[in-house]
Amino acid sequence: MKFGGVAVANGEKIKRVAYLVKRFKEEGSREKEERNELVVVTSAISTVTDTLYENANRIAKEGNVEKVKEFVDGLRDKHVLTASEAIDNRDELSEVKAEIKERIAEIERALIGICLLGELTPRSLDYISSFGERLAAPILAGTLRSLGMEAVHLTGGEAGIITNEEYGNAQLTWGVERGIRERIMPLLEDKIPVVAGFIGETMKGTITTLGRGGSDYTATIIGAAIDADEIWLWKETEGIMSADPKIIKNARKIPYISYVEAMELSYFGASVLHPRAMEPVMRKQIPIRVKNLIKPEDEGTLIGEEPAKTKKAAKAITLIENTSIINVTGTGMMSISEVAARIFSALAAKNVDSIMVSQGSSEMTISLVIESAQLERAIGAIQSINSSGTIIRDFTFNSDVCAMSVVGAGMAGTPGVAGEVFSALGKEGISVIMISQGSSEFNISFVVKREDAYKAAQAIHDVFEMGA
Ligand code: ASP
Ligand code: MG
């Protein structure tokens, strides 16, 4: 069971999580011969990871040691308060408080170093951002113990999640499953392991992170390694939705979705799950459930192997709001593939991810869509390859756009789906700026003017009866 940041946002919520775990354990021993065993994975308390990133950057820039003190004091107070609300047993509480203070002393030392050097490397940023989960896990484990359960907390490394040194987006090393099993299985005999999500460790013991939202991924890595029956990702949402309910009034929960569809949705920024979360479980076909903490009895969304047979080919529509489109036109001095190679390696060097890419056949133009937050970096990257003006003739961008994606396994091999998508938009008088369809055919992505986006989403949601 994985609990997201909102699920552990304060002491009261952490208590609720602990009761839920307790009920699951007890139900298991009542109803079945075998008892229920579980591993708990926790995110950082909601917003803490963001704060860590922001402050690490700010502290490196400003170089004011006083600000480090201010920040870590706030961080300590928040976690001590949360622990005090969550943990009733006094001995447990004082143990957890002592641990929080140790962690805070560590982060303070690191931040002072960063502050004095004025330098924040990807490696130190991973170390700093790991503290959210490393502070949350002891609190949740202490809360479980306070309710009479045997619980121990582990970092990602202690749970066997060993990665390479790709800081910020670390990749698992070969054969980690065995190490995870060796560490987790013996604990399950009589304990509940509470693993800090999001983080791993290199072979040398340096802390790494698995990318934003990485706690989902931690849960599925561990679930796959120990051959879990199911993986439950607890959120404060109904499950995976056909569209954002804030935008589409009749958006509804998707009861069943396949791994590949869930992956498409995540890749397209639907912030449903970590995009790599499906990878570890696909081969073993372990079902994932996205469950609603507010209605724990609810089935949530089940994610499994088979694409569900639905009346309509498309299941969900997602949109990424703050996107920019960039058009780069070559001079013709180089082939378009050489220009593309230059552009993409320059973007990669500046950590810019393109969400969509398209290239017309007749022109020397490549269009790409990125998050607007990365626009400045992208412009810098493209200028860097064109210092002498021989590669790129023209370069424009537009930040007034919205990227959208229609997802559904039923689209593969079904003629006319794209036609339905674009005629629905046409009927609304919405013009499409850019189109791309992956060859998996599980999604069609396109770009419209920002002001048209919500209308476009509603039109597509209606045409495919996603709310029915
Ligand atoms: N705390 C991390 C983040 O905010 C990981 C997670 O929540 O899954 O990205
Ligand atoms: Mg999260």
State the sign of the Cα–Cα–Cα–Cα dihedral 185, 186, 187, 189: positive
- The pLDDT tens digits of the residues spanning 137-186 come to 999 999 999 999 999 999 999 999 999 999 999 999 999 999 999 999 99
Q: Are residues 210 and 359 in the same domain?
A: no
Clarify whether residues 224 and 342 are in a common domain: no
Q: What is the pLDDT of residue 130?
A: 98
Same-domain pairing of 217 and 334: no
Q: Are residues 200 and 345 in the same domain?
A: no
CATH number, domain of 134, equals 3.40.1160.10
pLDDT-based confidence at residue 28 (cuts at 50, 70, 90): low
- The bound ligand whose nearest atom lies closest to the alpha carbon of 49 is 1
Check residue 242 and give its pLDDT: 92
pLDDT tens-place string over residues 100-148 = 999 999 999 999 999 999 999 999 999 999 999 999 999 999 999 999 9
CA 118 to ligand 2 center in whole angstroms:
28
Inter-residue long-range contacts of 345-354, CB under 8 Å, 24+ positions, other chains counted: 346/381, 346/382, 346/384, 346/385, 347/378, 347/381, 347/382, 349/381, 350/377, 350/378, 350/380, 350/381, 351/377, 352/377, 352/378, 352/381
* 328 and 215 within one domain: no
46 C-alpha vs ligand 2 centroid, how far in Å? 7
Same domain, 328 and 195: no
195 shares a domain with 70: yes
Residue nearest to atom 6 of ligand 1 (CA): 213
Pocket of ligand 1 (CB under 6 A): 4-5, 43-44, 49, 132, 197-198, 212-215
Both 150 and 16 in one domain: the answer is yes
Residue 398, domain CATH = 3.30.2130.10
The span from the CA of 137 to the CA of 127, in Å, is: 16
Q: 210 in helix, strand or coil?
A: coil
Q: What is the mean pLDDT of the chain?
A: 92
As for how many domains the chain has, the answer is 2
More confident residue, 308 or 26: 26
The average pLDDT across 267-279 equals 81
Q: What is the pLDDT of residue 438?
A: 72
Whether 269 maps to a domain, the answer reads no
Task: For residue 389, tell me if it sits in a domain.
Answer: yes
Question: Which ligand neighbours the alpha carbon of 211 most closely?
Answer: 1
Residue nearest to atom 2 of ligand 1 (CA): 213
Nearest CA to ligand 1 atom 5: 213
Taking CA atoms, 140 is separated from 5, 233, 236, in Å, by 12, 16, 17
Note whether residue 94 is domain-resident: yes
Ligand 2 centre distance from Cα of residue 444 (Å): 27
Q: Which atom of ligand 1 is nearest to the CA of 4?
A: 7
User: Range of 459's domain?
Assistant: 316-463
Do residue 222 and residue 337 come from a single domain?
A: no
* Ligand positioned closest to the Cα atom of 41: 1
pLDDT at 126: 97
Same domain, 195 and 321: no
As a whole number, mean pLDDT of residues 353-378 equals 87
Whether residue 308 is contained in a domain is answered as no
Query: Of 229, 249, 264, which closes a domain?
Result: 229
